[in-house]
Structure 1
Amino acid sequence: MTPRDLTFVLGGARSGKSVHAERLADSSTLPVTYIATARVSDDVEFSARIAHHRERRPAHWALHEAGVDLAGAVAQVDAPGHCILIDCLTLWLANLLCPAEGEAVSLDRYHAQVTALEAAFVDAHSKLIVVSNEIGLGVVPLGAATRLYVDELGRLNQRIAALSTQATMMVAGLPLALKTAGAA
């Protein structure tokens, strides 16, 4: 059995986490599939952000746009000798906790999706690079929905960090090693 190879890259907005993750994927010399979790909308500014990410990625990387079934997306593209870059858990969580078109938020559905994602990561044969935001460093947010989001992202990040073989915190474009391969 191949040991799990999961690198977790965290950071704040504009910390350099996506660029760092892309460099890690590129330097792996493996075929790369980029799993995008952003929900495309009519938001002009957000669409520009997505376009910037697309332009920066190598053209030969495969792209898979995941919906809320991120575990299914990972399982679909997983293969030995392959690298999967997921950018990012933050937007995936927003899609689950802030569903489109007025769907009701289901914490049971969210917890089932997280459990399935953990299982997909444990079972994966690919090198995994997972990006997420660290948003819990500030004050406690106003509003129950925002507090729920911040709390659940913190819990999700902890769960993925526990599974990771390496974890890096990006600050001002600088990678800070939080966990290195072989460390518990």
Structure 2
Amino acid sequence: MAILVTGGARSGKSAFAEQYAMRAGTRGIYVATCQPYDEEMIDRIGKHRLDRDGSGFPWVTAEEPYDAAGLLHRLGEQAAQDAKDGIDLPVVLIDCLTLWLTNWLLRIEQDPLGHDRLAEETTKLLDAVTHFPGKLIIVTNEVGDGIVPAYPLGRRFRDEAGRLNQRAAAICDRVFLVTAGIPVELKALAYRWDEPS
């Protein structure tokens, strides 16, 4: 089962995703996609790790800024083996999809074939999400509600993030929007095209 949790900055989406994971399983794997580009990010990452360690829930952190698809495949293979051996499967939480996207956009920014590479990596990741055999929670950001960015990379990020979020939401079983710390399950509220108008 895959769940997408989206919302704006400081909306409470990561806290909700962690609480959801703690209720959905007995242990978790936290896939961190953030790269520590500066001191503030290093401090932020450290605080998040301390918060998880202090939660009382057994988290294992896996830092993976680029190959989230490969990591999901490896975790899926381990989950299949654990299931055969009767071992309780961990909940996997990826935080976050938009940082993963940022990492790739910065890596390929000067590459003329970058658009193709990003499409390839996105497809690999979404395929891994689709085929993941366990409980998977993915955090992402809503970035399209603000102003149009003034520079090309910012506009590309906004557009790519919107497309990525739509594709991820389509394949996830549940999608939550968190605003002001309040989660709302979107798929349950979604308009159905087969309903009468």
TM-score by length of 1: 0.89
Aligned to 1:151: 159
**Selected match of 1:94 from 96, 102, 113:** 102
Aligned residue pair count: 176
Q: Give the superposition deviation at 1:103.
A: 6.1
- Do structure 1's residue 125 and structure 2's residue 133 form an aligned pair? yes
2-side partners of 1:44 and 1:82: how far apart? 31
2-side partners of 1:172 and 1:52: how far apart? 21
Q: Can you give the 5+ residue segments of structure 2 that lack an aligned partner in the other structure?
A: 84-88, 193-197
Aligned to 2:118: 110
Local SS of the residue matching 2:136: strand
Equivalence map 1:7-46=2 (5 Å): 7-41=3-37, 43-46=38-41
- Structure 1 or 2, whichever has the larger Rg, is 2
Identical-pair percentage: 40
2-side partners of 1:51 and 1:67: how far apart? 16
**Contact 1:6–1:128 (8 Å) recurs in 2:** yes
- Do structure 1's residue 73 and structure 2's residue 65 form an aligned pair? no
Amino acid at match of 2:104: L
Q: Can you give the 5+ residue segments of structure 1 that lack an aligned partner in the other structure?
A: none
**Contact 2:26–2:58 (8 Å) recurs in 1:** no
Local SS of the residue matching 1:62: strand
1-side partners of 2:75 and 2:174: how far apart? 21
Q: Report the RMSD for the aligned CA atoms in angstroms.
A: 1.9
Equivalence map 1:165-176=2 (5 Å): 165-176=173-184
Q: Which has the higher helix share?
A: 2
**Selected match of 1:48 from 43, 48, 70:** 43
Q: Give the superposition deviation at 1:133.
A: 0.5
**Dislocated runs of 4+, deviation >6 Å:** none
